[in-house]
Structure 1
Amino acid sequence: MSFSVSDQLKVTLFDVKKIQYKSRVIFDYVQSCCTVAYIKKGEVTTTFEGKEYVAKQGDVMIHRPHKPFNVISKTDGIHYLFNIDLKVMEEVDFFSMYPLGKVVKIRDPILYEKKFDELRSIWLQETNEYRTVQSSFLAFSLLHEVIESSKFGGKRSPNEEYITDRFNNVLHYIEKRLGENITRDELAQIYHMNPVYFSRAFKEIYGLTPMKMVKKLRLLHAKRLLETTDYTMEVIAQKCGFCDSPHFTHAFRSAFKISPSEFRKSIKNTKRGFIPTLLDK
């Protein structure tokens, strides 16, 4: 049995590029082709059909044609991406017939990056008479890696732990302002929600009200400062948003059943206990 590839599969490669950015925010973006974006560096929240996914270093995001999506990153990042239109029987989108996950963890990032560099090199050779054929073959090779990675369990679905929490931005907001006064209304405003409804929805996800979460994050930060710094109790109380040292001590003891000073002493004793063992080696 024989067949003509042109009758079965039509491929058009539009662009191959590397993107570096400080932060990235794209809302409701729609394109006429598919984008396969590999994350060389960074972490991205991508939203598709009402579901959120986290794509990390070594992952590929697949943005499908004619489907709006969001991309949000608050950190530095580098993406390797190519735009491709892939049709079966010249009219059916390949990714609708052979659906892959929105985010796929690549099984061999080093191999994928090497293949992408080959593709990028060929793509830039505009005077190369074989450029179209070679770049198409290399793009297929990258798609093969994505498909194989998905088969090997790299597909990330919205039912897995990689999904972002609905109020993930609130947690980041709190962590950056632990030493400041934070109110429920202020947190609700981030999502333009009624404070009562926001508090109820937040608790359904985390099991804590927003303000109890603020307190929890403050105490965890205080614990880290006790373990890693020599700050006084007054300084730690200030950095973690407690009005003074006695309030901080009371809250810490209530949460961990030990005072901050006792906790710090136990940490120092534990560290000293390890020293002879390490020196004996």
Structure 2
Amino acid sequence: MCLHDPEPGGLASPGAFAGGRPAGLAPWQASRAAAYVERQLETTIRVVDLARATRLSPSYFSRAFKTTFGLSPQKYVVERRLTRAKRIMLTTNGPLCGIAVTCGFSDQAHLSRVFRRREGAPPNAWRRERRQASALT
């Protein structure tokens, strides 16, 4: 019997595959994965740990996660780290080195490299620009 068995009583659960591709995560799994990422953002987040939290194998989890969130788990984590870094940069005067570590980047250079690639400007310039714009309104 193969994993995708259309016969009742087969190994695949209903809705587990859609057209030969994995379906997305169940709502409880998506919620649990997102919460895990938010709780562990400042640490190393491994796919195997996310998969364990959702009771799936790492390979299936990765495919289902991408189907659900539109990003691989690794890219999702980077996006969440950048979002948190932006929020902290706009609401505090904290140094970038502290913000980087708080958000799970290895150091300020790592934050700056990823930030510039994603936003097109270094973090300090982005912060200054946003603060000036909000001061004018």
TM-score category (smaller protein): 0.7 to 0.9
Partner of 2:33: 170
Paired residue secondary structure (2:133): helix
Q: After the TM superposition, which residues 105-254 of structure 1 pair with which residues of structure 2 at under 5 Å, given as runs?
A: 164=27, 166-254=29-117
Partner of 1:266: 129
Give runs of ≥4 in structure 1 deviating > 2 Å.
Answer: 163-166
Paired residue secondary structure (1:196): helix
Give the structure with the larger strand fraction: 1
How many matched pairs? 113
Among all aligned residue pairs of Structure 1 and Structure 2, give the percentage whose two residues are the same amino acid.
Answer: 33
> By how many angstroms is 1:272 displaced?
2.3
Residue deviations 1:94-128, cap 9 Å, x none? Answer: xxxxxxxxxxxxxxxxxxxxxxxxxxxxxxxxxxx
Return the alpha-carbon distance in structure 1 between the equivalents of residues 68 and 96 of structure 2.
Answer: 33
Q: Which has the higher contact order (CA 8 A, sep 6+)?
A: 2
> By how many angstroms is 1:166 displaced?
4.2
Partners of 2:62 and 2:73 within 8 A in 1: yes
Change (3 A) 1:253 1:191: same
Partner of 1:7: none
> By how many angstroms is 1:196 displaced?
0.6
Give the structure with the larger helix fraction: 2
Paired residue secondary structure (2:98): helix
Return the alpha-carbon distance in structure 2 between the equivalents of residues 269 and 196 of structure 1.
Answer: 45
> By how many angstroms is 1:177 displaced?
1.5
Partners of 2:29 and 2:54 within 8 A in 1: no
Return the alpha-carbon distance in structure 1 between the equivalents of residues 69 and 134 of structure 2.
Answer: 33
TM-score by length of 1: 0.38
Return the alpha-carbon distance in structure 2 between the equivalents of residues 187 and 218 of structure 1.
Answer: 16
Return the alpha-carbon distance in structure 2 between the equivalents of residues 227 and 200 of structure 1.
Answer: 34
Paired residue secondary structure (1:167): helix
> By how many angstroms is 1:164 displaced?
4.1
> By how many angstroms is 1:268 displaced?
1.8
Q: After the TM superposition, which residues 38-57 of structure 1 pair with which residues of structure 2 at under 5 Å, given as runs?
A: none
Return the alpha-carbon distance in structure 2 between the equivalents of residues 210 and 171 of structure 1.
Answer: 10
User: Which has more radius of gyration?
Assistant: 1
Which consecutive unaligned segments of at least 5 residues does structure 2 have? 1-13, 15-25
Letter in 2 for 1:232: P
CA RMSD of aligned residues (A): 1.7
Paired residue secondary structure (1:247): helix
TM-score by length of 2: 0.77
Return the alpha-carbon distance in structure 2 between the equivalents of residues 179 and 268 of structure 1.
Answer: 25
Which consecutive unaligned segments of at least 5 residues does structure 1 have? 1-49, 51-162, 275-281
Return the alpha-carbon distance in structure 2 between the equivalents of residues 231 and 216 of structure 1.
Answer: 20
Letter in 2 for 1:235: G
Return the alpha-carbon distance in structure 2 between the equivalents of residues 255 and 207 of structure 1.
Answer: 17
Partner of 1:81: none
